[in-house]
Amino acid sequence: MTEKRILLEVSDLNKFYGVREANFDAFVRNFPRLKVVARGDVIKLNGD
């Protein structure tokens, strides 16, 4: 399994994630085989 870490360099994380994490949830739904973990300004992606 491959892991990729992405550091978000945005000034407002609320705008990136969206209201009630709507943007983040939409991203996760579009990639069902990918495990996505978000912690603050770091997103970890795990998959084949």
* Residue 30 neighbours by CB under 8 Å, 6+ apart: none
pLDDT score recorded for residue 1 = 84
pLDDT score recorded for residue 46 = 97
Q: Are 30 and 24 in contact (CB under 8 A)?
A: no
**Domain extents in the chain:** 2-47
pLDDT score recorded for residue 48 = 84
Q: Dump pLDDT digits (tens) for 1-48.
A: 899 999 999 999 999 999 999 999 999 999 999 999 999 999 999 998
